[in-house]
Structure 1
Amino acid sequence: MLPRHHDPILAIATAPGRGAVGMVRVSGKDLKPLALALFGRMLPPREAVYLPFCDAAGIPIDRGLALYFAAPHSFTGEDVLELQAHGGPVVLQLLLARCMEAASQRDPQAGQLVLPHLRLAAAGEFSERAFLNDKIDLTQAEAIADLIDASTEAAARSAAQSLSGAFSKEVHALRDALTRLRMLVEATLDFPEEEIDFLQKADASGQLERIQAALQAVFARASQGALLREGIQVVIAGQPNAGKSSLLNALAGAELAIVTPIAGTTRDRVQETIQIEGVPIHVIDTAGLRASVDTVELIGIERAWEAITAADVVLFLHDLTRAAEPSYQAGDVEIRSALQQKLPSGVPVIDIWNKADAVSTALQPEGITLSAKTGHGLDALRQALLQAAGWQAPAGGSFIARERHIQALRSVDAHCREAAAHLASQAQALDLLAEELRLAQGALSDITGEFSSDDLLGVIFSQFCIGK
């Protein structure tokens, strides 16, 4: 534990701005002297006390609730003091300053500072204290930030699942199963003279297969959770006046982009996040792709290609009313060729044929036919986007996950595959089998933070809000 983790910390724990209630939170090893200096009395643990919050001269700053949580029965595992006042920024700043002032005073009885080294908390430091004091593991700590940042109801529910320990429980079960199997392998290595084949008797091969099956189930749920957290980036591309802005507006259900009959109206990217079955879809409308001598339009087209090459899914929008025009067909061919050259492999391109309401003939081009004006075909597009994203609602529900969790689970899978290969050769490679199982264990422990470097913790908790 770094020296800074021993300092008592202080922060405003509610969002910036005005509100009905605001909170100042303090966490440290012994906060009784601070409570006595602030209120002239001790506070009963875990009991809300309504009293005045006064400055050093005894003049009330506000009246509110004070709560004292004695260690280890608190969020951080340390003593925690919470002051709940009216949520005005000035009031909360005055309370913050008063706490710092009281901490720097000398206790007349003890003859020392009331609370030495009290300082403002860094981002996420309260949650970091909770992790370091074994109140939560790393996946639960990350779930706190994900719950706060959730952009959809499904993402919030998945984050709550992780915060309750659902993800951690699955990881611990996998780790325990790997530990048992590794013990068998180590026993075989330690006692080679024994005639009993420990691995065959204990069905080591069957155990490993069951671990791999359980790992795949966890990976599927975690992948869906990662999708709920991150969403996918969808870019609408096509020639000018194909209805890209109209499609964005139709998907968003709001007039976000300017729509006119004039080709080239959209000069820059317009982005909106929508949700489909709880999955965040970040939709970007771009400038029409065509040859141009207009400097501003060329900049817009360049930015359009930047967005396209970074997309998870591209919606290639076509205009049904111009589908038979040779010049329009040539433009689409040129765009498709450019997409094939510039897009990374594996990025899906969905052909969308717009303006079905304006065409009387029964055209059935390949792709999805819709009308951004009437809404016809939008449901089919939404389902196509979910399919392209790989969304499948897990039967047991998902838990929120991050890219580092996915990478760690992939690493576990790779080590298990290597272990299975070594197990097949049995005695000739048992030492390598034991090592692969150890590496798989380590990758699982990285997820929950049992073996995490201070650098990794710094990156994770720095993304939290102040006061949490």
Structure 2
Amino acid sequence: MSVEPLSASQGRGSLAADPIVAIATAPGRGAVGIVRVSGPALAGLAERLCGRRLEPRVATYTAFRDAAGGIIDQGLALYFAAPHSYTGEDVLELQAHGGPVVLQLLLARCLEAAAEIDPATGAPRLPRLRLARPGEFTQRAFLNDKLDLAQAEAVADLIDASTEAAARLAARSLAGVFSAEIERLREALVQLRMLVEATLDFPEEEVDFLEQADAAGQLEALQAGVDAVLRSARQGALLREGIKVVIAGQPNAGKSSLLNALAGAELAIVTPVAGTTRDVVQQTIQIEGVPLHVLDTAGLRDSEDEVERIGIERAWSHIENADAVLFLHDLTRLGAPEYEAEEDRITRALSQKLGPNVPVIDVWNKRDAWPDAHALPGPADAHDALVLSARTGEGLQRLRERLLQVAGWQSGQEGLYLARERHVQALRQVQAQLDHARALLQAPMPSLELLAEELRLAQNALNEITGAFGADDLLGVIFSRFCIGK
């Protein structure tokens, strides 16, 4: 279920109309499960569910009761009074035993108790309580200024982190490290905009605000700051997204063996029979915390077998969408006329199907089977050639290092934070607008109106990162990808 886009009238700081409830822990059995409620004035509902008033921000061990006063379960109840809560609204958390049936009973009891008539008011205790949509608790935290948009995304990234490095960087982003960098850039940009606008507004004063305030120097420093943040964001996005690496080559070049060697597990079937691999086998591996999505594909050749032909078509489809291609060559067949002719055909096809920015890494396999331990034929003898044995593991470390290099990873960097591709694109947009601004500022007769517009567009791009400004449909897309209860 996706989050409905916010209406134009729902700005940041507004409270959502309906109270919401959801099971906040993962499906299945566990030691503890949580039912979470958020909305206005939850103290009465909490008292009805627990049979006692709850002191805010104090864990209370209590029984959770049904409508007749019977006990559903016993556990901890936590009540957070607005605005001192995750969402900025009143929040109630019921921590019970983590059985699916128990949690469903508690969820149903919350909805039932909310609809009961309160004797003191003659009205439902909590009207319009409904099930939460995916990401709606965090969405409310954003709308109520408890988190900015980059921090809200970091919540999902922390949950989804597949490596220790990704989890640590997501925690940094959630703590506001990335947002603080963006705010620093925004303040510098606002200061520069102020100078340009002042020059536009008061031309009769004959005071060159831009020159006196060193606007060119401020713009240069701002560009350097954006470049530094973009470098860190690229690395963070790489840790989050990884790259897609496709192993391609003729049948029996050792593609499946290489996938197994990189993964450290027998994932793909390996036999001496050509055409064993008929479909794509994918595995995500980690090198220095960077996820690489490696795909083993069917051997590339002309085939009369219909099933194999479909596998080869799928192989080319994945190759065309790869971030990098490992073109695997068989050392033991180099020099054979038919083999070399097919290698040339695959090389031409790769050059036609791949974009100019997609690297092709040539790898010569079966080093262990080459008879001369010192001399290698042709290009495999080059200084930077990647020669390995998927069977023995010789040369695999060099391949891993080359893959990191191709991915753009730079180890040992400090001050990184987990970023998303949209953050990288926004920062690139800021770079482009500032480049235009610099060209205008350096012109013999600067157009200050155009300069002011370029700076405004740059600030809009920065604001989109933290959500100070952004399209309503962007918010809907982001929060719809969260899990329910978060």
Q: TM-score range by the shorter chain?
A: over 0.9
Q: Which residue of 2 aligns with 1:211?
A: 222
Q: 1:40 Cα shift? A: 2.3
Label 1:5 to 1:394 Cα distance change in 2 as closer, same or farther (>3 A): farther
Q: Residue by residue, what CA displacement relative to the aligned partner does 1:256-299 show, whole Å, maximum 9, x if unpaired?
A: 00001111110000000000011000000000011110011100
Q: Which residue of 2 aligns with 1:308?
A: 319
Residue 112 (structure 1) aligned to one of 105, 123, 138: 123
Q: Which runs of 5+ in 2 are unaligned?
A: 1-8
Matches within 5 A, 1:311-330: 311-330=322-341
The residue type paired with residue 116 of structure 1 is: P
1:464 match: secondary structure: coil
- Of residues 238-247 and 54-63 in structure 1, the stretch that sits farther from structure 2 once superposed is 54-63
Distance of 2:56 and 2:72 partners within structure 1: 24
Q: 1:394 Cα shift? A: 6.2
2:443 match: secondary structure: helix
Distance of 1:4 and 1:168 partners within structure 2: 23
Residue 376 (structure 2) aligned to one of 352, 363, 367: 363
Q: 1:426 Cα shift? A: 6.3
The residue type paired with residue 441 of structure 1 is: Q
Residue 406 (structure 2) aligned to one of 374, 388, 397: 388
Residue 165 (structure 2) aligned to one of 131, 149, 154: 154
Residue 260 (structure 2) aligned to one of 249, 267, 273: 249
Q: Which residue of 1 aligns with 2:418?
A: 400
1:332 match: secondary structure: helix
- 1:451 correspondence with 2:469: yes
TM-score by length of 2: 0.95
Distance of 1:100 and 1:328 partners within structure 2: 69
Distance of 1:4 and 1:434 partners within structure 2: 35
Q: 1:349 Cα shift? A: 0.3
Q: 1:380 Cα shift? A: 0.3
Q: Residue by residue, what CA displacement relative to the aligned partner does 1:222-260 show, whole Å, maximum 9, x if unpaired?
A: 011111111000000000001000000000000000001
- Cα pair 1:224 1:393 within 8 Å, conserved: no
- Of residues 53-62 and 117-126 in structure 1, the stretch that sits farther from structure 2 once superposed is 53-62
- 1:373 correspondence with 2:391: yes
2:94 match: secondary structure: strand
Distance of 1:111 and 1:93 partners within structure 2: 28
- Cα pair 1:251 1:274 within 8 Å, conserved: yes
1:193 match: secondary structure: helix
TM-score by length of 1: 0.98
Q: Residue by residue, what CA displacement relative to the aligned partner does 1:296-329 show, whole Å, maximum 9, x if unpaired?
A: 1100100100111010000000111111211111
Q: Residue by residue, what CA displacement relative to the aligned partner does 1:98-142 show, whole Å, maximum 9, x if unpaired?
A: 000000000011111110000000000000000000000000000
Distance of 1:87 and 1:349 partners within structure 2: 50
Residue 238 (structure 1) aligned to one of 249, 256, 268: 249
Distance of 2:439 and 2:425 partners within structure 1: 21
2:245 match: secondary structure: strand
Identity of aligned residues (%): 69
- Of residues 93-102 and 148-157 in structure 1, the stretch that sits farther from structure 2 once superposed is 148-157
Q: Which runs of 5+ in 1 are unaligned?
A: none
- Cα pair 2:42 2:92 within 8 Å, conserved: yes
- Cα pair 1:224 1:394 within 8 Å, conserved: no
Q: Which residue of 1 aligns with 2:484?
A: 466
- Cα pair 1:221 1:394 within 8 Å, conserved: no
- 1:23 correspondence with 2:34: yes
- 1:411 correspondence with 2:429: yes
1:336 match: secondary structure: helix
Q: Which residue of 2 aligns with 1:193?
A: 204
- Cα pair 1:369 1:377 within 8 Å, conserved: yes
Q: 1:72 Cα shift? A: 0.6
The residue type paired with residue 432 of structure 1 is: L
Q: Which residue of 2 aligns with 1:436?
A: 454
- 1:340 correspondence with 2:351: yes
Label 1:85 to 1:26 Cα distance change in 2 as closer, same or farther (>3 A): same
Matches within 5 A, 1:20-169: 20-169=31-180
1:129 match: secondary structure: helix
- Cα pair 1:158 1:397 within 8 Å, conserved: no
2:325 match: secondary structure: strand
Distance of 1:453 and 1:30 partners within structure 2: 31
Q: Residue by residue, what CA displacement relative to the aligned partner does 1:157-178 show, whole Å, maximum 9, x if unpaired?
A: 1111111101100110001001
Q: Which residue of 2 aligns with 1:423?
A: 441
Distance of 2:196 and 2:352 partners within structure 1: 50
Q: 1:4 Cα shift? A: 8.9
- Of residues 141-150 and 187-196 in structure 1, the stretch that sits farther from structure 2 once superposed is 187-196
Q: Which residue of 1 aligns with 2:5?
A: none
- Cα pair 2:15 2:140 within 8 Å, conserved: no
Q: Which residue of 2 aligns with 1:177?
A: 188
The residue type paired with residue 178 of structure 1 is: L
Distance of 1:394 and 1:406 partners within structure 2: 20
1:442 match: secondary structure: helix
Q: Which residue of 1 aligns with 2:4?
A: none
Q: 1:427 Cα shift? A: 5.3
2:394 match: secondary structure: coil
Q: Residue by residue, what CA displacement relative to the aligned partner does 1:417-466 show, whole Å, maximum 9, x if unpaired?
A: 11111111265411111111111111101110011222111111000000
Distance of 1:292 and 1:213 partners within structure 2: 55
Number of aligned positions between the proteins? 468
